[in-house]
Amino acid sequence: MSSEPKNAAEIDVENGLAGIRGFEYSGVSAGLKASGGKDVALVRNVGPEFTAAAVFTTNRFAAAPVEWSREVVRDGRVDVVVLNSGGANACTGTEGFRNTHRTAEEVASLTDAAAGDVLVCSTGLIGEQLPMDLLLPGLRDAAGSLGEGPEHDDAAASAIMTTDTVSKKASVTLQTEQGPVRIGGIAKGAGMLAPGLATMLVVLATDASMSADNLDAALRSATERSFDRADSDGCMSTNDTVALLASGASGAVPEQEEFTDALTRVCVSLALQLIGDAEGASHDIHVTTAGAASEAQALEVSRAVARSNLFKCAIFGNDPNWGRILSEVGTTSVDFDSSDVNVSINGVMVCRGGAIGEDRSLVDLAADRTVDVVIDLGAGSESGTIWTNDLTHDYVEENSAYSS
């Protein structure tokens, strides 16, 4: 990442919320998941400050919890985030919205908050009503289980998983003049990952003291450089939510730019964990476009390649089929001359000047899970990377059987 400071502290992927002062969290099983696994999580800010920001899916069929939460965060204050897996509560009409409202009211009464300060997130199948007879007792159980530390962190991170095979956590310590600040969070999402966010729920927290406006600016910058660049299958969800809550419990007020950088690093780690656990994937693919006239053009080219099913099947087959890269580049309208374009796969320049380069058999795709594709347009000095994954039998299997 170009935005990564040289001496940045290491990202901690063992702890998400654990270690961030001023927060309690929990994860319990309410019976929403057929598997019996944990499916309800709470993240509670205990202050002394309660500032917050959030970004949401741009899908016009936004789920009921997204409609609700957009209003909640408008005043820059969130006290509690309640999350459930086992049902998206999307395309569920007025009954769905009533269920979200009731969920917020119940959580508010359990945590001494106002319902208007309770953010609600749901994930799972679209087009089914939530079983409120199971969810409401689950909320009481989750409120009774609130606490801090690694065990509670693990429980919350597990409770938001759907087809994820592992939970996702990341955090980092930022040194300030008033002492250390901690920033971290938990994430879920393994399919339907696309820009404008993904089927992705992310709860980020910090013990820094930050105004809601500064949180909002930092969050928008961080998501643009992280989750928005992860594109697993080009599909946009109805439920995506990334929330950021600040407790001020550290008493420290970080510089805006340093805070944004640290937050971005946490978000990049979570985004790469999401891609690394994408449904059925056997390769993580980093598609970098360099030599572009602008960063936006670089990202447009990288995204076009990252969305090619033919390219993604070839990578699954460990086949460095660069023709499928060029044919996607050729569908874009960005600045380049076709005879200037070079393509390297894992360091081997298989295409030079828009034509045949090194022997494709020199590329070894079987050795490593990560595949590096670099497209040099020869049209400028800007670059940008999109992270994606291959298209596999397991993706087809998981997504042909998900709702049944």
- Asked if 364 interacts with its own copies (CB under 8 A), we say no
Q: Binding residue per annotation — 279?
A: yes
Q: Please, which residues have CB within 8 angstroms of residue 321's CB and are 6 or more apart in sequence?
A: 310, 311, 314, 360
- Asked if 128 interacts with its own copies (CB under 8 A), we say yes
Q: Please, which residues have CB within 8 angstroms of residue 261's CB and are 6 or more apart in sequence?
A: 3, 4, 5, 8
Active site residues: 199
- For 246, the token pair is 């600040």
Stretch that binds its own copies, among 91-99, 171-179, 182-190, 206-214 (CB under 8 A): 91-99
Of 23, 56, 259, 395, the residue at the interface with its own copies (CB under 8 A) is 395
Task: Determine how many CB atoms are found less than 10 A away from the CB of residue 10.
Answer: 8
- Range 179-208, binding its own copies (CB under 8 A): 191-192, 196
Phi and psi at residue 207, to the nearest 5°: -95, 10
Question: Could you give the dihedral angle defined by the CA atoms of residues 340, 344, 349 and 354, in that order, rounded to the nearest 10 degrees?
Answer: -30
Contact 354, 339 (CB under 8 A): yes
The label of the residue with tokens 């033919």 reads 310
- Asked if 228 interacts with its own copies (CB under 8 A), we say no
> What are the helix (H) ranges across 241-388?
256-276, 295-306, 309-316, 323-329
Nearest to 281 by CA among 343, 230, 348: 230
> What are the helix (H) ranges across 279-380?
295-306, 309-316, 323-329
Of 37, 323, 378, 380, the residue at the interface with its own copies (CB under 8 A) is 323
Of 356, 364, 369, 370, the residue at the interface with its own copies (CB under 8 A) is 356
Q: Binding residue per annotation — 158?
A: no
- Asked if 331 interacts with its own copies (CB under 8 A), we say yes
Stretch that binds its own copies, among 145-153, 170-178, 260-268, 394-402 (CB under 8 A): 394-402
Nearest to 57 by CA among 197, 217, 206, 200: 197
Stretch that binds its own copies, among 41-49, 127-135, 170-178, 295-303 (CB under 8 A): 127-135
- Asked if 393 interacts with its own copies (CB under 8 A), we say yes
- Asked if 66 interacts with its own copies (CB under 8 A), we say no
Q: Binding residue per annotation — 168?
A: no
Stretch that binds its own copies, among 111-119, 150-158, 317-325, 370-378 (CB under 8 A): 317-325
The annotated binding site for substrate is made up of 162, 188, 199, 279, 399, 404
Residues in contact with its own copies by CB under 8 A are 58-62, 88, 90-94, 96, 125-129, 191-192, 196, 233-238, 307-310, 313-314, 316-317, 319, 321-324, 326-332, 336, 338-339, 350-351, 353-356, 360, 391-393, 395-404
